[in-house]
Amino acid sequence: MTRRIPPLPISACTVLSACGPGMQSLLDSFESGQTALRAVRQFDLDFPAFTGEVDAALIPELPQPLRAYNTRNARIALAALDHPQDGVRAAVESAKVRYGAHRIGVVVGTSTSGIYETEQAYNEREQTGQFPASFDFARQHAWVATAHCLQQALELTGPCYAISTACSSSSKTLASAQRLIAAGVCDAVLSGGVDSLCRMTLYGFKSLDIMSETACTPLDRNRSGLSLGEGAGLLLLERPRTDLDDCVHLLGCGESSDAHHMTAPHPDGRGAVLAMQAALQQAAISPAAVDYVNLHATGTRLNDLAEMRAMRRVFPGGVACSATKGFTGHMLGAAGGMETAVSWLSVHHGLRPGCCGLQTPDPEFNFSVNADYEANVPVKVAMNNNFGFGGNNTSLLLGRVHV
Which one of 34-42, 53-61, 196-204, 300-308 is the stretch in contact with other proteins (CB under 8 A)?
196-204
Smallest CA-to-CA distance from 346 within 326, 375, 317 is with: 375
Contacts of 133 (CB under 8 A, 6+ apart): none
Provide the residue type at 291 as one letter: D
Contacts of 381 (CB under 8 A, 6+ apart): 251, 283, 285, 289, 290, 291, 292, 347, 397, 398, 399
Query: Based on CB atoms, which residue is closest to other proteins, 223 or 270?
Result: 270
Catalytic annotation present for 167: yes
**Using an 8 Å Cβ cutoff, are 262 and 234 in contact?**
no
- The residue from 23, 80, 274, 347 that contacts other proteins (CB under 8 A) is 274
Residue-wise DSSP of 192-222: EEEE---HHHHHHHHHTT-B-SSS--TTBTT
- The residue from 21, 218, 271, 399 that contacts other proteins (CB under 8 A) is 271
Does 123 engage in binding with other proteins (CB under 8 A)? yes
Catalytic annotation present for 296: yes
Does 126 engage in binding with other proteins (CB under 8 A)? yes
Residue 347 Cα distances to 137, 176, 298, 401, angstroms: 40, 22, 23, 11
Considering only residues 275-314, where is the footprint of other proteins by CB under 8 A?
Answer: 282
**Angle between helix 72-81 and 145-153 (nearest 10):** 40
Q: What is the CA radius of gyration of the chain?
A: 20
- The residue from 36, 49, 163, 356 that contacts other proteins (CB under 8 A) is 163
Does 171 engage in binding with other proteins (CB under 8 A)? no
Which one of 29-37, 123-131, 242-250, 379-387 is the stretch in contact with other proteins (CB under 8 A)?
123-131
**Least gap, CB of 291 to other proteins (angstroms):** 26
Angstrom distance (rounded) from CA 1 to CA 279: 19
Angstrom distance (rounded) from CA 94 to CA 388: 34
**Using an 8 Å Cβ cutoff, are 149 and 78 in contact?**
yes
Interface with other proteins (CB under 8 A), residue total: 74
Query: Based on CB atoms, which residue is closest to other proteins, 238 or 362?
Result: 238
Does 185 engage in binding with other proteins (CB under 8 A)? yes
C-alpha dihedral over 59, 169, 159, 398, to 10 degrees? 100
- The residue from 29, 118, 191, 343 that contacts other proteins (CB under 8 A) is 118
Which one of 159-167, 293-301, 323-331, 377-385 is the stretch in contact with other proteins (CB under 8 A)?
159-167
Query: Based on CB atoms, which residue is closest to other proteins, 47 or 359?
Result: 47
Considering only residues 19-48, where is the footprint of other proteins by CB under 8 A?
Answer: 46
Angstrom distance (rounded) from CA 271 to CA 48: 33
Does 234 engage in binding with other proteins (CB under 8 A)? no
- The residue from 1, 57, 133, 403 that contacts other proteins (CB under 8 A) is 1
Residues shown for the chain: 403
Query: Based on CB atoms, which residue is closest to other proteins, 4 or 402?
Result: 4
- The residue from 98, 102, 221, 301 that contacts other proteins (CB under 8 A) is 102
Considering only residues 357-396, where is the footprint of other proteins by CB under 8 A?
Answer: 388-392
Does 97 engage in binding with other proteins (CB under 8 A)? no
Residue tagged active-site, from 321, 330, 348, 356? 330
Catalytic annotation present for 253: no
**Least gap, CB of 17 to other proteins (angstroms):** 22
**Angle between helix 301-314 and 270-283 (nearest 10):** 40
What is the set of active-site residues? 167, 296, 330
